[in-house]
Structure 1
Amino acid sequence: MATAALPQTTSVAAGSGPSEEQRRDPAYVPPLPMALALGVQHVLAMFVSNITPPIIVAGAAGIGFGSADPSALIYMIQAAMLFAGVATLLQTVGLGPIGARLPLVQGTSFAFISVMIPIVAGKGVEGMAALTTAAFLAGLLHAGLSRLVGPIRFALPPLVTGLVVLMIGLSLVRVGIEYAAGGVTLRGLPAYGAGASWFLAGVVVFVTLGLKFFGRGVLSTAAVLLGLLAGYGVALVMGRVDFAPVAQAHWLMLPRFLAFGWELSPSAILGFCLIGFVSSIESIGDVEAICENGAGRRASDREVMGAVAADGVGTALSALFGAMPNTTFSQNVGLIAMSGLMSRFVVTLGALFLILCGLLPKIGAVITTVPIEVLGGGVIVMFGMVASSALAMLSGVTWNQRNMLVAGTALSVALGLQLEPEALGHLPETARILLSSGVLPVAVIAVVLNLVLPKDI
């Protein structure tokens, strides 16, 4: 299978920005300075979310920060960056039927954390073998099932996909607030939610909005990146930036095949396969959102199937080298909405930068010096844009009593179970994980009701 080539650079008149047609074209190649800036912006938007799952899993296994030998944790963080970049290239450049050829950013999935923690809890490095083996096999299944997505798209009209994307956005907004308040490590401490944290996040939000609405050209398009840089500068002045990770980081890291070994665990494999369906639904919603909001059209069957296949292949490939499962990142879908530029070339450059970060830990360490409150200001805006893009998708729905009943019931149950997971305490662990995910319940309920309810009630 031949790799699809990116198009030749389209010329743009000096001093002029891209036209509306170019902005909506995934094949458009913007000027290199703009593309580089926006590519780095995509990396900054997903960086913390990408490395957080391996940190959480390593902590559960007992090999996290503060452990006697943190080498496994360091490897997991670097592998998360490296294979997020590789998986993103599968989406933007593609390989045969794999990849949507859209500006979709792949990253380490939060959806699998509830499955991964019980697998590795207290087992040290040895527990990672069952986890990565299960992720590899689930990734292959995920990729194979992608061929079924096209034939069942009749069951996924804008009403359903819009609700899925809205649920993704609603699930993410809490993360933005948590970052802005100081991050999960400060939760429960007096420093959580301190005025200085909210000030830093506020600088990013106000600079971002100011440049987006009052700036022109690159100033408006790269508003989130410039907002993050402004917040970083203020953090430097306030003494909130720690450069110690840069000094401690090594210069080079190469991935290791079967880094944690191979171990078949039926329960782990089942859990990963079931959560893989949740990841697929999220990816379908992200593809629909990015096409609707960025290109002004519905995604094609080829794009949806390619995106889901890239999810599966990316997860399987990552697992072979000891990294966590990958999925499309909704926060970067929000960034496409913010920048208004649909170019997959931009995200390709971001993917190459992620690979560089994964191979050269010094570069990744520089990004880790950005305070989480600064990132929080940026993601507050972007996560909100994910929910807004869902509202744009739902705006084309005819809001009669039937569709209002479908949407209301699906959102009420899904959001309620996510906010109150203890209500599922009598169910088996796998069922609790799936039903409290938010995305899976809203999708299942919306699909079933949309299929069985009469069109006119």
Structure 2
Amino acid sequence: MALALPLGIQHVLAMFVSNLTPPIIVAGTAGFGFGSADPSELIYMIQMAMLFAGIATLMQTVGFGPIGARLPLVQGTSFAFIPLMIPIVAGRGVGAMAELTTAALIGGLVHGGLSVFVGRVRFALPPMITGLVVLMIGLSLMRIGVQYAAGGVPAVGTPAFGAANSWLLAGVVVFATLGLKFFARGIWSTASVLLGLLAGYLVALMMGRISFAAVGAAPLFMVPQPFHFGFALSASAILGFVLTGFVSSIESIGDVEAICEGTAGRPATDAELKGAVAADGAGTALAALFGAMPNTTFSQNVGLIAITGMMSRHVVTLGAVFLVICGLVPKIGAGITTIPIEVLGGGVIVMFGMVASAALSMLAGVTWNQRNMLVFGVSLSLALGLQLEPDALAHLPETARMLLASGVLPAAVLAILLNLLLPEETAGDEEPQAAVIAGDGA
């Protein structure tokens, strides 16, 4: 226990900031995020992110019947759904959260059901496609990181946006994170993003940018409320969550295989793969029932297991219990809301950059012939272009506009279809060989 407890806390520190970033982004996009007059709804979302990350992790490590891989998998709030959630809630206030959480609930149930079939469709998702999807997630979020670092969305268009003090705070976080990651060891390196945020927070405190009023007003204990944001059906939102859940399940499969092959030295079993995806879906549905965001496995914790060599699901279980306890104490969430948006911006610039870098690592093993370059290039060009210029879809129905402007979904769907339908080689792939033959003949 003396060793297991700090190792469990280390897993929590590795995922803590990434877990809380999606609800903060969604709340800010809807209009009740950092700096709002009433932070109570944001505090609730932060609490639920911690609570249900812990519960979903327990589903994976302890297992409940067919649910859970019974491996040291850490669950947390998923980045994959952010490009989809932003257009659902943009500028619509707390009321839009009912559509989002209802769609996440239904999508989570479908996601869990996919666990029976997911092994049969893996052939359609080679590294080129999964890498493209992860790259689109990273590219979709980078604008948000810069906006936060420059003063936040409410400041856009005002003289305060992009002020030197804002970039100073964000820069402290970025450089502190890099310094700790490269020059520190152990937990100091593992928790570099969290400690970098703490460094920026301390500078903001010295600048007089911190107010603890929300912490004093927050209660000591909170019970989660079913359908906290209400219940509202949106066909476009539901379809989006179902499709994105399919993409998320492939990410989870990759994490399971990485743990089993990289640390245990054996291939993952079908039961482990199905259990992991089932826990993803069940965790997402349960979280949505209480107003939280979708859950998925966290790759950074898989990397931590590879570094430490400690493949004990009981260690991760202790970390999950710690998250559950944190999720029931609103003063923790209230303390997080005191972080200046620029400090958070420095952290998310690092995180979103790492998402894109992870995609490039996945794509490194792809055979880049002309055929694959065309499939990848056309899918990326169209998906990113539609996301950057959503008005190009103005004459389409609402559902089609929302799905196509998300970036991630059109990239995934188009790449899958092109990869399945196009021949394995193009005429251009044979040209170099033909040119050599012609040259020899001359």
TM-score greater than 0.5 by the shorter chain: yes
Query: For 1:85, which of 54, 67, 74 is the aligned residue?
Result: 54
Map of 1:327 onto structure 2: 295
Cα distance change of structure 1 residues 211 and 84 upon mapping to structure 2, 3 Å threshold? closer
Map of 1:239 onto structure 2: 208
Measured against aligned partners, the alpha-carbon deviations of 1:103-151 in whole angstroms (never above 9, x if no partner) come to 4432275355357549x958x87x8766655543333222212322110
SS of the residue aligned with 1:188?
A: coil
Q: Report matched runs for 1:45-444 at 5 Å.
A: 45-54=18-27, 56-57=29-30, 65-66=36-37, 75-76=44-45, 78-100=47-69, 101=71, 103-107=73-77, 109-113=81-85, 116-117=88-89, 132-259=101-228, 265=233, 268-269=234-235, 271-285=237-251, 287-288=253-254, 305-321=274-290, 323-328=291-296, 333=299, 341=307, 348=317, 351-444=320-413
Supply the distance in 2 between the matched residues of 1:346 and 1:193 (Cα, whole angstroms): 43
Cα distance change of structure 1 residues 300 and 111 upon mapping to structure 2, 3 Å threshold? farther
Aligned residue pairs, count? 416
Aligned 8 A contact 1:337 1:385 in 2: no
Cα distance change of structure 1 residues 40 and 245 upon mapping to structure 2, 3 Å threshold? farther
Supply the distance in 2 between the matched residues of 1:316 and 1:128 (Cα, whole angstroms): 15
Measured against aligned partners, the alpha-carbon deviations of 1:346-397 in whole angstroms (never above 9, x if no partner) come to 7655543443233111122122222222222222222212211111111111
Q: Which amino acid aligns with 2:183?
A: F
Cα distance change of structure 1 residues 394 and 440 upon mapping to structure 2, 3 Å threshold? same
SS of the residue aligned with 1:433?
A: helix
Map of 1:42 onto structure 2: 15
Supply the distance in 2 between the matched residues of 1:374 and 1:114 (Cα, whole angstroms): 21
Cα distance change of structure 1 residues 172 and 261 upon mapping to structure 2, 3 Å threshold? closer
SS of the residue aligned with 1:328?
A: strand
Q: CA deviation at 1:411?
A: 0.9
Q: CA deviation at 1:199?
A: 1.2
Cα distance change of structure 1 residues 73 and 454 upon mapping to structure 2, 3 Å threshold? closer
Aligned 8 A contact 1:39 1:349 in 2: no
Q: Which amino acid aligns with 1:285?
A: E
- The runs of 5 or more residues in structure 2 that have no matched partner are 427-442
Map of 1:33 onto structure 2: 6
Cα distance change of structure 1 residues 37 and 197 upon mapping to structure 2, 3 Å threshold? farther
Q: CA deviation at 1:239?
A: 1.6
Aligned 8 A contact 2:17 2:193 in 1: no
**Aligned-CA RMSD value:** 3.6
Q: CA deviation at 1:319?
A: 3.5
Greater alpha carbon shift after TM alignment, 377-386 vs 298-307: 298-307
Cα distance change of structure 1 residues 65 and 387 upon mapping to structure 2, 3 Å threshold? closer
Aligned 8 A contact 1:136 1:317 in 2: yes
Cα distance change of structure 1 residues 221 and 121 upon mapping to structure 2, 3 Å threshold? closer
Q: CA deviation at 1:345?
A: 6.4
Q: CA deviation at 1:296?
A: 5.2
Supply the distance in 2 between the matched residues of 1:152 and 1:211 (Cα, whole angstroms): 41
Aligned 8 A contact 2:222 2:328 in 1: yes
Q: CA deviation at 1:404?
A: 1.1
Greater alpha carbon shift after TM alignment, 278-287 vs 295-304: 295-304
Q: CA deviation at 1:299?
A: 7.4
Aligned 8 A contact 1:86 1:351 in 2: yes
Q: CA deviation at 1:431?
A: 0.8
Structure-2-length-normalised TM-score: 0.80
Supply the distance in 1 between the matched residues of 2:214 and 2:37 (Cα, whole angstroms): 14
Q: Which amino acid aligns with 1:43?
A: F
Supply the distance in 2 between the matched residues of 1:105 and 1:254 (Cα, whole angstroms): 21
Greater alpha carbon shift after TM alignment, 144-153 vs 33-42: 33-42
SS of the residue aligned with 1:318?
A: helix
Q: CA deviation at 1:189?
A: 2.3
Q: Which amino acid aligns with 2:124?
A: A
SS of the residue aligned with 2:82?
A: coil
Supply the distance in 2 between the matched residues of 1:346 and 1:170 (Cα, whole angstroms): 34
- The runs of 5 or more residues in structure 1 that have no matched partner are 1-8, 12-29
Q: Which amino acid aligns with 1:40?
A: L
Map of 2:437 onto structure 1: none
Greater alpha carbon shift after TM alignment, 98-107 vs 200-209: 98-107
